[in-house]
Homo-oligomer: A and B are copies of this chain.
Amino acid sequence: MAANILIVEDETSILELIALNLQQAGFNPIRAINAEYADNIVKETVPDLIVLDWMLPGMNGIEFLKRLRGNSLTKKIPVIMLTAKSEEDNKIMGLNAGADDYLTKPFSPRELVARIKALLRGRSPELIDEPITISELNLNPQTHQVQVDDKLIKVGPTEFKLLHFFMKNTEIVFSRNQIINKIWGNNYDVDERTVDVHIKRLRKNLAEVGKNKLIHTIRGFGYKFSEK
């Protein structure tokens, strides 16, 4: 569920520093110590954002970036470039090559996280855990609360995940299998009917505040969360 962020950085101390901070900020860091390695990772799982060091052994950052931009699958991934202070001029080259933002070393991890959030907010807001309100129903991932006005609603762990997922993806119909993959994970083996049961439980919870109608059954296809 958390955004996958690929970090391409050859200095392992910095790599770890970044990874740790991203983890703390609720992201899922993926480490790569050079561009070749990163390239392989990208082929397997397209990350949601890339933090890319300018100076890398072998294929350098710019080259890797150009490659990313040349492929339709990876063309749109937001990229933040890391440059050393002395290479300041490179930032122009970096931005020209298609970087979305850049940061000069040394930088504060806090700022990096802030910039990542800023970029993700623009591109894929569903990946940052911000509070969501839909027809007075408010879900706050930080406080782990669901409420209407000031009335708190008790919701079990799985139901919470389910509701969060729905509220991040309103109006879209999901099959039971899609829901299982999103909530339980890809290689999890649960019965399709189990989804029905959790939907039922969630509806029961929401019924306390009269919001159970937000979850719609699409007969033959699955479920969707909709205001309409």
Residue numbers of A with Cβ under 8 A of B are: 20, 24, 43-46, 72-73, 104, 106-108, 110-111, 114-115, 118, 142-144, 152, 156-157, 171-173, 178, 181, 186, 218-221, 224, 226, 228
Cα–Cα distance between A218 and B157 once the two chains are bound (Å): 8
Q: Contacts A44-B108, A181-B24: A144 and B221 contacting too (C-beta < 8 A)?
A: yes
In the complex, which of the residues B24, B106, B118, B144 contacts A218, with contact meaning CB atoms closer than 8 Å? Answer: B144
Are A228 and B152 interface neighbours, CB within 8 A? yes
Q: Across the two chains, which residue of chain B brings its CB closest to A102?
A: B43
Are B186 and A20 interface neighbours, CB within 8 A? yes
Q: Across the two chains, which residue of chain B brings its CB closest to A158?
A: B220
Q: Contacts A171-B143, A173-B143: A157 and B44 contacting too (C-beta < 8 A)?
A: no
CB-CB < 8 A to A178: which residues of B?
A: 24
Cα–Cα distance between A20 and B46 once the two chains are bound (Å): 19
Q: Contacts A157-B221, A173-B144, A181-B24: A111 and B45 contacting too (C-beta < 8 A)?
A: yes
Cα–Cα distance between A46 and B112 once the two chains are bound (Å): 10
Cα–Cα distance between A108 and B30 once the two chains are bound (Å): 14
CB-CB < 8 A to A118: which residues of B?
A: 72-73
Q: Contacts A143-B172, A224-B143: A219 and B108 contacting too (C-beta < 8 A)?
A: no
CB-CB < 8 A to A219: which residues of B?
A: 156-157
CB distance from A35 to the nearest CB of B (A): 18
27 A-B contacts, Cβ less than 8 Å apart?
Answer: A24-B178, A24-B181, A43-B104, A44-B106, A44-B108, A44-B111, A45-B108, A45-B110, A45-B111, A46-B108, A46-B110, A46-B111, A46-B114, A73-B111, A73-B114, A142-B171, A142-B172, A143-B172, A143-B173, A143-B226, A144-B173, A144-B218, A144-B224, A152-B228, A156-B219, A157-B219, A157-B221
Cα–Cα distance between A220 and B143 once the two chains are bound (Å): 14
Q: Across the two chains, which residue of chain B brings its CB closest to A42?
A: B111
Cα–Cα distance between A45 and B118 once the two chains are bound (Å): 16
Are A73 and B173 interface neighbours, CB within 8 A? no
Cα–Cα distance between A114 and B71 once the two chains are bound (Å): 12
